[in-house]
Amino acid sequence: MIQEKRITLKNLGKINPESIDDYINVGGYKAFEKTVGRHHIEIIDEMVKSSLRGRGGAGFSAGLKEKFTSEACLRCEQKYLICNADEGEPGTFKDRIIMENDPHLMLEGMLIAAYAIGASKAYIYIRGEYYKSIDRINKAISAAKEKGIIGKNVFGSAFSVDVEVKLGAGSYLCGEELTLLESLEGKRGYPRIKPPYPAEYGLYGKPTLINNVETLATIPTIIEKGSDWYTSLGTENSPGTKIFTISGDVNKPGYYETEMGITLRELIYELAGGIKDGKAFYAAILGGAAGTFVNESVLDTPMGFDTLKEKGAVLGSGAIMVMSEGRSLFDMTNSILEFFKHESCGKCVPCRIGMPQLLHIMENLKNNKIGRIEALDLLLYESEFMAKSSLCPLGQSPILPIKSLKQYFENEF
Ligand SMILES: Cc1cc2nc3c(=O)[nH]c(=O)nc-3n(C[C@H](O)[C@H](O)[C@H](O)COP(=O)(O)O)c2cc1C
Ligand code: SF4
């Protein structure tokens, strides 16, 4: 029987999330204390060696991002760390679980990362509807300030740091790192053009490290137990653990933290209790709306960034939405495209015009004005054009579900 392996959820249910003493009693803030006694380059090296890949979706090396930000603009007096807690991807609710149940773990990860890159100011950009998370994070910050864990010369070191919470206003696009920067600066949530990357030119033009909640909450355990221990978990290219959030037609929807390399079959049938009402598995959407449809041929593929890529699929944020036999791929695709249209900021033409156009193709298919094969080809043509010409990753996203429909469900869509 497959078991969960909890790192970012290790304290869940074991401590009172509102008690800093509880967190300290289970070894909390020890990794941060150890960190400020070491050279920041040692911390970055440990993180690079751990091969931890960002859990916000893109899977970029967390250690390398720290290295780039630390090395950018050596004469800059100000650098920033930002925790991306916007969690807007449909089907994704892992960051909320961490923030509600172990806010200090995320905070400790932030403090370690801030020290590594030399940031004296850190922000948590949090989804405005996450009332409980916001409350718990604010309480955690106040308690850490009272104990001198956040503030001037922490643990008697030369390092001083401040942490502040900023609320998002419900825009999916504002979770995208460059748009997030605009929003944090108090501007309209329009994306910036990349490059320059935030490591070079981030918040207020200063070097900035942006990491996801789950990424940051993994750091204290890596510093405590070492990168060798971390790489002994998971797969070669995707080491460690991942929180998967499983929803849809399963008996036990929820969050499950396991080693990378677990298969979709194990996640669905062993951890999530199998398909509801004894029905057969039909499809799953991996990675959220900006994700991919897969059929049963992917059930035994190890879950990892590269293993799924080889199958034309994405791991993304770790969201898994399960569809049993009888569910409609048309309805699911339509609702994904509606979501994208609603969240498009309208700044660039290919996405502003392209999103309604995709829905128009769906409408024509529904009304039998065009056939199934023609519709799929048109959707593919249009979304490929959008992927090539849109300004930001949101307009480049519809190609993901559409291409995977063509790959796995051409005869059924
Ligand atoms: C439209 C869009 C929305 C995004 N929303 C989030 C989000 O809510 N939370 C998040 O951590 N990353 C989100 N991302 C990814 C971020 O741009 C960025 O890659 C991530 O915060 C980096 O952190 P990581 O390296 O720890 O994964 C989004 C990306 C796009 C394109
Ligand atoms: S791709 Fe879409 S969301 Fe991105 S800038 Fe263009 S209109 Fe805005």
When computed from its CA atoms, the radius of gyration of the chain, rounded to whole angstroms, is 21
Q: Let me know if the fold of 241-324 is the same as that of 329-409.
A: no
Q: How many angstroms separate the alpha carbon of residue 397 from the centre of ligand 1?
A: 13
The torsion region of residue 46 among left (phi > 0), alpha (psi -120 to 50) and beta comes to: alpha
Question: Chain-wide mean pLDDT for the chain?
Answer: 97
Alpha-carbon gap, residue 151 to 158, rounded angstroms: 11
User: Top-level CATH class of 329-409?
Assistant: mainly alpha
Alpha-carbon gap, residue 74 to 24, rounded angstroms: 34
| Ligand 2 nearest-atom number relative to CA 355 | 2
Alpha-carbon gap, residue 274 to 399, rounded angstroms: 29
* Ligand number with the minimum distance to the CA of 392: 2
pLDDT of residue 33: 98
CB 231 within 8 A of CB 43: no
pLDDT of residue 413: 80
CA separation (Å) from 113 to 121, 225, 274? Answer: 11, 16, 39
CATH architecture of 241-324: Roll (3.10)
Q: How many angstroms separate the alpha carbon of residue 48 from the centre of ligand 1?
A: 20
pLDDT of residue 16: 98
Reported as a single tens digit per residue, the pLDDT across 204-245 is: 999 999 999 999 999 999 999 999 999 999 999 999 999 999
Q: How many angstroms separate the alpha carbon of residue 194 from the centre of ligand 2?
A: 13
Alpha-carbon gap, residue 398 to 392, rounded angstroms: 12
pLDDT of residue 412: 85
Reported as a single tens digit per residue, the pLDDT across 74-84 is: 888 899 999 99
Reported as a single tens digit per residue, the pLDDT across 8-65 is: 999 999 999 999 999 999 999 999 999 999 999 999 999 999 999 999 999 999 999 9
CB 395 within 8 A of CB 386: yes
Check pocket membership of 340 for ligand 1, CB cut-off 6 A: no
From 126, 133, 176, mutation site for ligand 1 pocket: most ligand atoms within 8 A of C-beta: 176
Q: Residue ranges per domain, the chain?
A: 20-231, 241-324, 329-409
Lateral strand order in the sheet of 80-85: 162-167, 121-126, 80-85, 208-212
What is the token pair recorded at 227?
Answer: 């990168």
Pocket around ligand 2 at a 6 A CB cut-off: 173, 191, 344-348, 351-352, 390-392, 394-395
Q: Beta strands of 117-207 (E only): which ranges?
A: 121-126, 162-167
Q: What is the rounded end-to-end Cα distance, in angstroms, of the chain? A: 35
pLDDT of residue 77: 86
Neighbours of 185 (CB within 10 A): 10
Fold of 20-231: Rossmann fold (3.40.50)
Q: Looking at residues 135-160, what average pLDDT do you find?
A: 98
Does residue 389 or residue 2 have the better pLDDT?
389
Q: What residue owns the CA closest to ligand 2's atom 4?
A: 392
Percent of the chain at pLDDT exceeding 90: 97
Reported as a single tens digit per residue, the pLDDT across 300-352 is: 999 999 999 999 999 999 999 999 999 999 999 999 999 999 999 999 999 99
